[in-house]
A and B are shown apart, each in its own frame.
Chain A
Amino acid sequence: MSPVTVGIIGIFFLFLLLALRMQIGFSMALVGFLGFTVLCSLEASFSIMGMVAFKTGTAYSLTVIPLFILMGQFANHSRMGMEIYETVYRWLGFLPGGLAMATTGACAGFAAISGSSLATAATMGMVALPEMKRFKYDDSLATGCIAAGGTLGILIPPSTVLIIYGILTEQPIATLFIAGVLPGLLLSGLFLTTIYAMTKYKPSLGPPGPRFTMKEKIYSLKGTWSLLALFLLVIGGLYTGWFTPTEAAGVGAFGAFFITIIKGRLNRDNLRESLTETVKTTAMVFVILIGANIFGYFLTVSQIPDQLSTWIGELGLNRYVVMSMLIFAFIILGCFMEGLAIMVLTIPIVYPMVMAMGFDPIWFGIIITLTMEMSLITPPVGINVFIISGVAKDVPMYTIFRGILPFWFAMLACIILLVIFPHIALFLPTSMG
């Protein structure tokens, strides 16, 4: 059997195990171990296995993961999400569809301290949904804008997805974070435009909220300036090269911890909860990374990534045709699997091919992240939708999915814009210190 055949059998076997509900990290480790044994030797495979767990656990560059997750956890417990919403609400609420716009804005703001889309959606669901209900917003718009806005969590830095992409492809995390800023703003803008267009077309979807005086607007910044300062310190520090990613993450976590203390919202319970939640997510992510690492050894000796890249090259297709097919495939996979799983499974296979076609690695990271965002809201497995339906128990799932559709198209538009103008993602990184 040729290595490529073994590789293909291995990939099929992996999908079978996943379908049988084996933990993703475990199944990648198992298939990687068996495949490497077949292609090399049991001895080599055994010694890789012994080393990989320790080596992955002690990689200094990976310590950003728990620290950035911790930052988001403290941000959750400080109830900063509520304050961001309050601020944006006062500034935008009076517009037609203004509450939905405020929700999107607040999602973007919360995303700037949290690297998780789920946390962003859950927080905003609790804060913004009751308010939109009070002003008789259409259920589909209200739930749709939160589910979609929540996905900004992984595009606007800090972002767990970008960290993992950086680890899998050996790209600098700082650069990826900076590259996410402008596309994040662009996507937020597209969401706002979508809401504006929808309420213009059908005003009953989102009636205007109350108007506030300038004084009240300015006053509302009181609760949010600390958050803005923290974001500027962390991301600015990364941009200017003043901090390494781990340092930035440490500063961010401590800053969020400190803000929670001065706001008087830290107690034993939520400190413990922040820590245990972080530890749990960290263990989950690292187990997947360890599995991906072992699987990666197997993939490399199977020569599949190289062969695929050569094969696509020989087809002589235009590279943008190939990229469109890839994006399409990611979107389809996203309907059935979670973003993190898709990434660890596919990046090692397609990344060499994408690089051979001459695409920019940082830009590709942003594109992948956007498709991961879509995967969070597409049926049948759209995690953000599940979260929102947990908060809005009276709204049927179908209504939420219908509400998401316009935002889904906004995301697609964002991807297309990024393919046409890669500079949206690459402008800031090229000017980094």
Chain B
Amino acid sequence: MKRKQLGSSFQAWVYWISKALNSFASIILFFMMLLTIADVFLRKVFSQSILGTVEVTEFMMVILLFFAVTQTEILDGHVKVDLIMSQFGERTKTVTDMVIQFVCFLLFGLFTWSTLVYAARMRASGEVSQDLWLPVYPFIYVVALGCALLALSLLIKSFMAFMRMDKS
């Protein structure tokens, strides 16, 4: 019982964080739109563009994406091919889900690790963006954070399938 409680509060944490990050991603998207339109307007009307629009948009994009990726998974937003497994029984589906989602957890663990290595390398090299000289590496850590959270949500999914199997 206690173990189950611990599990569910872990799940609540992961879900809460991913929801918060997702809201942040929505706000970033809104500002991305505003930045683009402001830059276009200033350039076409006053022939004066905003310095660093391209790189700031790119950085916003990466935050948007990796802050939203876990919530999308929680909402089952990542496309799957349903046709074949839907022919099988509930138990078979649960077992394959458990295994497959665990493999996905490992995959994104690997993604996190390799991205962290890349981030450390970029940090050591001191690479900065072209116009505003912003350091690039923090944004790679954003990718790693997104991948890590996604990995945790996949682990939860696998575990939930395991619990369902236990019951049936």
Residues of A at under 8 Å CB distance from B?
A: 17-26, 29-30, 33, 46-47, 49-51, 53-54, 57-60, 62-63, 66-67, 70, 242-243, 246-247, 249-251, 253-254, 257, 272, 275-276, 278-284, 286-288, 336-338, 340-341, 380-381
Contacts and interface: CB of A to CB of B under 8 A. Distances in A.
A63 B96 CA distance: 35
Contact of B78 (A30, A284, A336): A284
A286 B37 CA distance: 23
13 contacts: A21-B85, A30-B107, A49-B110, A50-B111, A57-B65, A57-B66, A278-B26, A279-B29, A280-B75, A282-B64, A336-B83, A337-B83, A341-B81
A81 to B, nearest CB: 21
Contacts of A51: 118
B159 interface: no
Contacts of A257: 33
Contacts of A49: 110-111, 114-115
Contacts of B54: 60
Given A18-B81, A279-B64, A341-B81, A53 B111 contact: yes
A60 B58 contact: yes
B80 interface: yes
Most buried by A among B59, B79, B97: B79
B23 to A, nearest CB: 8
Contact of B80 (A22, A247, A251): A22
A53 B78 contact: no
Contacts of B40: 243, 247, 250-251
A251 B35 CA distance: 10
A341 B79 contact: yes
Contacts of A26: 78, 104, 107-108
A273 to B, nearest CB: 10
Given A280-B68, A287-B69, A250 B36 contact: yes
B78 A20 contact: no
Contact of B33 (A29, A54, A253): A253
Contacts of A23: 73, 78-80, 104
A26 B44 CA distance: 41
B148 to A, nearest CB: 12
B29 A278 contact: yes
Interface majority SS on A: helix, strand, loop or mixed?
helix
Most buried by A among B29, B54, B65, B72: B65
A70 B37 contact: no
A53 B115 contact: yes
A-B residue pairs, 7 tightest by C-beta:
A250-B36, A50-B114, A50-B118, A275-B26, A57-B62, A23-B78, A283-B72
B25 interface: yes
Interface residues of B, number: 58
Contact of A279 (B25, B34, B93): B25
Interface in B72-101: 72-73, 75, 77-85, 93, 96-97, 100
A275 B30 contact: yes
B28 to A, nearest CB: 9
Contact of A67 (B36, B82, B93, B147): B36
Interface string B103-146: 11001101100111110000000000000000000011001000
Contacts of A281: 77
B14 interface: no
A279 B59 contact: no
A381 B72 CA distance: 22
B26 A279 contact: yes
A19 B83 CA distance: 8
B156 interface: no
Nearest to A335: B83
A337 B81 contact: yes
Interface string B49-72: 000001001110110111011011
A24 B79 contact: yes
Contacts of A254: 33-34, 36-37
B32 interface: yes
B62 A58 contact: yes
Contacts of A275: 26-27, 29-30
Given A19-B81, A54-B143, A57-B62, 9 more contacts: A24-B80, A47-B114, A58-B62, A63-B32, A250-B36, A254-B34, A280-B68, A283-B68, A284-B79
A149 B72 CA distance: 29
B135 to A, nearest CB: 14
Contacts of B36: 63, 67, 246-247, 249-251, 253-254
Most buried by B among A22, A283, A288, A380: A283
Contacts of B103: 22, 30
Contacts of A280: 68, 71-72, 75, 77
B61 A63 contact: yes
A167 to B, nearest CB: 14
A282 B82 contact: no
Contacts of B114: 46-47, 49-50
